[in-house]
DNA sequence: GATAGCGCTGACATTCCCGTCAGTACTTCT
DNA sequence: AGAAGTACTGACGGGAATGTCAGCGCTATC
């Protein structure tokens, strides 16, 4: 499994420490999707338009390395792998909700501004 | 938890729309610093170790373009420019606090794990 | 027996972020 | 006179982040 160790970005700002975990083109969306419950890899891929399988799996594995997600492999063939928020990952939920709520606000604002 | 009435596809995910604004190596830290009140450019630069003037100004201007910050130029020479959270930007405050609180948790967790 | 699906990996190509360096047009300090 | 500070810009390079393409081993389905 790819477990490349990201060099921790300098600076002890806690806000930065949190953002480091979420940084990544698709991580926010992935966390949002998983808030509804566990999902299989292929299920996630189909539910996130635009994402490639490569990036999905990279981000999933990074989130597992950060203990935000848990990976469950049924060990069957063909493979059946499920990802779920860990208990720790669920402590991120308020932030994800906040981002979702504010994001909606921001989308509306941009729509009414530019149109 | 019940954000469950969502469409099956996560197109234009609001979480993503929000993260787009915060994306950037120093934006979280900048917002965090400005939560205490308006600051001059040079004041910000000195208060954020590791940041370069180039990146500070780029990020500040991007945040201004996104209407999160307001720029106030005294018009004097030498220049005296102040940045403050806009009213809109202040709606981000709960998220920044959340990130700060969770970030602290995460820093502690990593510290106790690696020891 | 050809195909599609599963989860995943390796080797690239590309794109974009970030940081470095230099320079602007002043003024104040030494 | 020279240096330092102020807010900022343009050019540019390295490298990280992201995307593309091929392929693996296996199975169920047509």
Could you tell me the domains of chain A?
Answer: 14-113 (1.10.10.10)
Beta bridge partners of B39: B83
Q: What is the number of H-type helices and E-type strands within chain A?
A: 6, 3
Query: Average pLDDT per run of 10 along chain A, which is 115 residues long?
Result: 41 89 97 97 96 97 97 94 98 98 94 76
Residue from A9, A15, A16, A114 whose CB has the most chain B CBs within 10 Å, to mutate = A15
d(CA B12, CA A110): 13
A52 touches strand C (CB under 7 A): no
pLDDT of B1 above 50: no
Omega before B78 within 30 of 0, i.e. cis: yes
Residue from A43, A86, A99 whose CB has the most chain B CBs within 10 Å, to mutate = A99
Nearest C-alpha neighbor of B62 from the set B30, B95, B35: B30
Listed in sequence order, the residues at least 6 apart from A50 whose beta carbon sits closer than 8 Å to its beta carbon are B11
Determine the residue of chain B that is closest to A98 in CA distance.
B95
Determine the residue of chain A that is closest to B91 in CA distance.
A102
pLDDT of B34 above 90: yes
User: Which pLDDT tens digit goes with each residue over B36-93?
Assistant: 999 999 999 999 999 999 999 999 999 999 999 999 999 998 999 999 999 999 999 9
Q: What Rg value do the Cα atoms of chain A yield, rounded?
A: 16
Taking an 8 Å cut-off on Cβ atoms, the answer to whether B98 and A94 are in contact is yes
| Span CA (A25) to C1' (C15), Å | 13
d(CA B106, CA B14): 24
Q: Using DSSP, state whether B32 is helix, strand or coil.
A: helix
């Amino acid at each position: 499994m790819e477990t490349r160790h990201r060099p921790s970005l300098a600076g002890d700002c806690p806000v930065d420490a949190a953002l480091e975990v979420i940084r990544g083109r698709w991580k926010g969306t992935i966390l949002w999707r998983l808030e509804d419950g566990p999902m299989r890899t292929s299920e996630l891929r189909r539910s996130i338009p635009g994402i490639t399988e490569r990036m999905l799996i990279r981000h999933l594995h990074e989130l597992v390395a950060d203990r935000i997600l848990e990976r469950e492999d049924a060990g069957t063939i063909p493979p059946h792998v499920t990802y779920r928020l860990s208990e720790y990952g669920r402590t991120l939920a308020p932030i994800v909700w906040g981002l979702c709520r504010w994001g909606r606000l921001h989308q509306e604002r941009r729509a009414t501004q530019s149109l």
